[in-house]
Homo-oligomer: A and B are copies of this chain.
């Protein structure tokens, strides 16, 4: 079968597919060969019918009467989600969070290659963190031409997130991964994920305060 443009998937499906991948990779590590939608359903608290529908987007070959073949499902999911391809990215803002992401080797396992970082602080331009060089903003056109990165990772302060997103798009980035709490807006043709890790604390704090555990 020839490679075709993948369908635009609903966001909830794109949230769930990595759960299935993490689950079947765990089964794989345990030496389990086959898994049914029902088992995945029980383990992850997701309706079996929903799982079947989500997985129908993949062109699966390993489905048998005793369920999905674990190894084929893991590979198919990883491939379908783009985790096996190489996507070049630049980190904007080499402060604490930016450097933390550079230090986190996990990104490389999910297909993201950091080809540089950009920071307005002249004191850190030229520094190299874990093999990733920090550039002054004036070096961005050179970096774009040399590496052709697609993904701009924003770890700048919330106050400047929109401006940095705008300039990244102008420079040629086609995807914005925004880690600032500020919800940036981008044109329709630009891929966007808003990942404010701090916002998740609001959920935890609310649940902690609203439903204190009786000891």
Contacts and interface: CB of A to CB of B under 8 A. Distances in A.
Interface of A: 5-9, 11, 14-15, 17-19, 21-23, 25-26, 29, 43-45, 81-83, 85, 87, 96-97, 99-101, 103-107, 109-112, 150-151, 158-159, 174-175, 177, 180-183, 185, 189-193, 195-213
Contact of A82 (B82, B106, B201): B201
A200 B185 contact: no
A8 B207 contact: yes
Nearest to A44: B183
A32 to B, nearest CB: 12
B151 A206 contact: no
B107 A99 contact: no
B22 A180 contact: yes
A57 B26 CA distance: 41
Given A100-B104, A158-B26, A208-B175, A201 B8 contact: no
A198 B185 CA distance: 21
10 contacts: A15-B202, A18-B181, A22-B196, A23-B183, A26-B159, A82-B201, A189-B213, A192-B204, A193-B201, A197-B197
A206 B6 contact: yes
B206 A189 contact: no
Contact of A189 (B22, B109, B211): B211
A190 B209 CA distance: 11
Contacts of A191: 203-204, 207-208, 211
Nearest to A77: B202
Given A5-B209, A158-B26, A197-B195, A204 B185 contact: no
Given A96-B105, A103-B103, A107-B198, A204 B181 contact: no
Contacts of A150: 208
B199 A177 contact: no
